[in-house]
Amino acid sequence: MSSLIHFYQKLDADFIRGEGCYLWDKTENRYLDMTSGIGVNNLGFSHAELNIEIQAQIQNYIHLSNLFKNTWSEKLSDQLVKITQLNASFFCNSGTEANETAIKIAKLYAFEKNIENAKIIVMNQGFHGRTLGALSATSNQKYKEKFGALLDDFIFVDFNCIESILDAIQQHHVCAIMLEPIQGEGGIHIASTLYLKQLRKICDQYKILLILDEIQCGLGRTGYWFYHQKAEIVPDILTIAKGLANGLPIGACLVNKRLNDLLTPGLHGSTFGGNPLACRVALKVLEIIERDELILNNKQKGEYLINQLQSKFTSVHGIKSIRGVGLMIAIELNETIDDISQQLFLQHKILINITQNKIIRLLPSFLITEDDIQYFCQSLYDFIKTQNINNKVYLE
Ligand SMILES: Cc1ncc(COP(=O)(O)O)c(C=O)c1O
């Protein structure tokens, strides 16, 4: 038994190396990773060009205090600003910290504007992280109920429902609306383009901040640099993390010009945030995504994966729905299959992730091939047809 705190339900796996979208165990068994570390290893494991950047940077220094100029964080910020049309970035080490930053900025905005008892509208099924602020903005009661009083700054409304936003604005002093354009942990629920456009309009009308959390759906995964760009809008605050440095810890909170003027020394900070190693690698990640046209690739591979899944599983009654955008796809089952991750791992050497008990969440690496996709779909089909839930076989 390991001495680690048992916060995770772990697979019984011991991987010793990875390459591309594969991991290998001690006995040289190869596993296809359909999760990329929950949307982190977007450029796969052990990427040669990223390894060169890592090697080069550790020869100079890994950490540099935020009290000094840091060229890598400046270059990374410039690149992110260019991609997002926002104005400035703050770097931290994770998604939850990026969202803490966003929440603090929203509170600061309310303070500066003298909005009393200001509220932030967030979404049912939304997920923003595990620290107390981000957790307060997260909807799942199971994650929150044992932690006593959390921040009371949040109003929860239904996702994709403009009426409930307008109701909340009538009833409260709202300073911000915060959401994931595609809810990941909640089970891959996609904001409509119309909804995103309407949110932007309402935020402009009522001088409310629009905060988008693209920690899971951003960085090219959906066939756009950021999914909200499909709706041709720009948020006031954008949070990103996960795949930004392909596995090195980094998060970022980007803001528009108006907010940047509010943010002055001493209001926020992070010792490790913006460290040169993570920022240098992140810059290379962005370069590779653009150079190798991975955004278009993700759109095409995603369509291929959805088509393969739909053609294989149309007559399978155990599958409730198949949905997604680009390489962010959900296969929702009618019933939970016990130990499905462990069984697919053991029987088919495939790594998947389950969210909301019965949703298979696919977030494969951008390097996945059509052969990998075919192998995955066939293996899942072979597995599903052996299942017998409530005396009903999955396959009809
Ligand atoms: C949309 C979203 N926001 C925030 C987070 C929290 O990020 P982290 O685990 O890096 O703190 C996650 C993590 O899954 C996420 O999917």
- Section 224-242 average pLDDT: 98
Report pLDDT digits (tens) over 118-135: 999 999 999 999 999 999
Gap from CA of 95 to ligand 1 centroid (Å): 5
Provide the percentage of residues in the chain whose pLDDT is more than 70: 98
What tokens appear for 112 in the block? 């500066």
Q: Where in the chain is the domain with CATH 3.90.1150.10?
A: 15-33+293-394
Please give the Cα distance from 294 to 223 (Å, whole number).
8
Task: Evaluate: CB of 185 within 6 angstroms of ligand 1.
Answer: yes
Task: Evaluate: CB of 273 within 6 angstroms of ligand 1.
Answer: no
Task: Evaluate: CB of 236 within 6 angstroms of ligand 1.
Answer: no
DSSP assignment of 327-355: TEEEEEESS--TTHHHHHHHHH-EE-EEE
Identity of the residue numbered 183 = Q
- Section 365-370 average pLDDT: 98
Q: Are 135 and 97 in contact (CB under 8 A)?
A: no
**In the prediction, which pLDDT does 223 show?**
98
Task: Evaluate: CB of 103 within 6 angstroms of ligand 1.
Answer: no
**In the prediction, which pLDDT does 12 show?**
86
Task: Evaluate: CB of 184 within 6 angstroms of ligand 1.
Answer: yes
Task: Evaluate: CB of 84 within 6 angstroms of ligand 1.
Answer: no
Q: Give nearest CA residue, ligand 1 atom 8.
A: 95
CB within 8 Å of 174: residues ≥ 6 apart? 118, 119, 120, 121, 155, 168, 206, 208
pLDDT confidence tier of residue 394, bands split at 50, 70 and 90: low
Pairing of strands 319-325, 328-333: antiparallel
Q: Which atom of ligand 1 is the closest one to the Cα of 242?
A: 10
Considering the four listed CATH numbers 3.30.930.10, 3.30.70.2860, 3.10.150.10, 3.90.1150.10, the one that applies to the domain covering 15-33+293-394 is: 3.90.1150.10
Task: Evaluate: CB of 39 within 6 angstroms of ligand 1.
Answer: no
Q: Give nearest CA residue, ligand 1 atom 7.
A: 95
Residue 164 has pLDDT above 70, yes or no: yes
Report pLDDT digits (tens) over 202-217: 999 999 999 999 999 9
Q: Where in the chain is the domain with CATH 3.40.640.10?
A: 48-292
What tokens appear for 370 in the block? 């059509």
**In the prediction, which pLDDT does 316 show?**
82
Report pLDDT digits (tens) over 8-38: 988 888 999 999 999 999 999 999 999 999 9
Gap from CA of 60 to ligand 1 centroid (Å): 31
Q: Which residue has the tokens 């994966």?
A: 305
Report pLDDT digits (tens) over 32-75: 999 999 999 999 999 999 999 999 999 999 999 999 999 999 99
Q: Which atom of ligand 1 is the closest one to the Cα of 126?
A: 1
Domain at 48-292: CATH code: 3.40.640.10
Tell me the chain's radius of gyration from C-alpha atoms: 21
Report pLDDT digits (tens) over 297-351: 999 999 999 999 999 988 787 899 999 999 999 999 998 888 899 999 999 999 9
* Whole-number Cα distances in Å, 269 to 260, 263, 320, 329, 380: 15, 11, 45, 35, 45
pLDDT confidence tier of residue 188, bands split at 50, 70 and 90: very high
Eight-class DSSP state of 147:
S
Q: Give nearest CA residue, ligand 1 atom 16.
A: 216
